[in-house]
Amino acid sequence: MGANKPKVALYWAASCGGCDCAVVDIGEPLLDVASKVEFVLWPVAMDFKYHDIMDMPDKNIDLCMFNGAVRSEEQEEIAKLLRQKSKIMVAWGACAQLGGIPGLSNFSTQENTMKTAYEDVPSVQREDKKIRPQLKTKVPEGELRLPRNFEKVMRLDQVVDVDYYLPGCPPTPEQTAKFLLAVLAGQLPPKGATFGENKTLCDECERERKQKKVKKFQRAFEKKSDPTLCLLDQGYTCMGPVTRGGCGTLCIKANMPCTGCYGPNDNTEDVGAAYISTLASIVDSDDPKEAKKILDDLTDVAGMVYRYSLPSTMLKKEIKPKKE
């Protein structure tokens, strides 16, 4: 990467900011990383401007870690700019890799999303509920503009070429630090790889596993689980069988089912379809009516299985969840 310190850019698009927090949570190893690199863009932590990046020569940035999905014109523009200026582009976290939580709005239209957010939610208590953000607003100083949101949320590699993927919501600080150190050491896997081992979370889980047959599905708040037994065996919708390992089973150690934030391993094309197949295989009934009754206990199946990956699903048409 040359005699000078490698230049690193971190960018936050459509996401919650947890990935940036994961960098700070690295703790003392971050000081070691920071002493070896030069941050040229990190809006959440330092005052940088877009024109600083625009003025750089192409491929001047050694590493760009881009977190968040792409749902607006501004995010698309900056993703393309950073790709042009960067040697290595990383889809950092579940939103950039798979579409993430913002991608759930793809269940509906942009119009319905805006209507829900600005008109229908209980927190909107003004008399005129038709007020929404405007793309252009005249003020005495001139005209203010907001970027337009796209009809559908996209993952990063649907907009630009991506070199590596770092999974998680967010990636653990340990894995983030390990990735950064691997970059500095020039010890990265082949282009297109997802950083981490290609195994499922069940391969890491220390809980006792038995034959999975379920008579009733339940949510975490409905009944206290046995901390020694497989959560799926107990009827909790743990997505460990179809989720990539590498997080250290943090949720499971806190007695909470895996929600699938690390996405699928390399052998799974569609994590939602794979998990629906898993659930169907463990229903303990040969009677179609009884099996349907057991499955009816599941709440928001589509939202559950595609919580982090709807923009990555094989399903391309609009999906309309059943109204309560």
Binning pLDDT at 50, 70 and 90, where does residue 321 land? very low
Q: Tens of pLDDT along 217-241?
A: 988 888 889 999 999 999 999 999 9
Buried b (16+ CB within 10 A) or exposed e, 152-187: bbbbbbbbbebbbbbbbbbbbbbbbbbbbeebbeee
- pLDDT above 90 as % of the chain: 58
Please give the DSSP secondary-structure letter assigned to residue 106: G
pTM: 0.89
Q: Which residues pair with 143 in a beta bridge?
A: 138
pLDDT at residue 316, as a whole number: 60
Q: Tens of pLDDT along 268-277?
A: 889 999 999 9
Judged on CB neighbours under 10 Å (0-12, 13-18, 19+), 228 is exposed
Q: Which CATH superfamily hosts domain 7-101+153-185?
A: NADH:ubiquinone oxidoreductase-like, 20kDa subunit (3.40.50.700)
Q: Tens of pLDDT along 268-320?
A: 889 999 999 999 889 988 888 888 888 888 889 999 999 999 999 887 655 45
Residue 58 · residue 51 · CB < 8 Å: no
Higher per-residue pLDDT: 29 or 259: 259
Question: How far apart (Å, rounded) are the C-alpha atoms in residues 184 and 1?
Answer: 9
Residue 119 · residue 89 · CB < 8 Å: no
Question: How far apart (Å, rounded) are the C-alpha atoms in residues 230 and 212?
Answer: 9
Question: How far apart (Å, rounded) are the C-alpha atoms in residues 159 and 97?
Answer: 12
Give start-end residues of each CATH 3.40.50.700 domain in the chain. 7-101+153-185
To the nearest whole number, what is the mean pLDDT of the chain? 89
Judged on CB neighbours under 10 Å (0-12, 13-18, 19+), 140 is exposed
pLDDT at residue 92, as a whole number: 95
SS3 label, residue 312: helix
Judged on CB neighbours under 10 Å (0-12, 13-18, 19+), 307 is buried
Question: How far apart (Å, rounded) are the C-alpha atoms in residues 167 and 75?
Answer: 20
Q: What is the mean pLDDT of residues 205-218?
A: 88
Q: What are the tokens at 78?
A: 């900056």
The secondary structure element, H or E, covering residue 149 is: strand 149-154
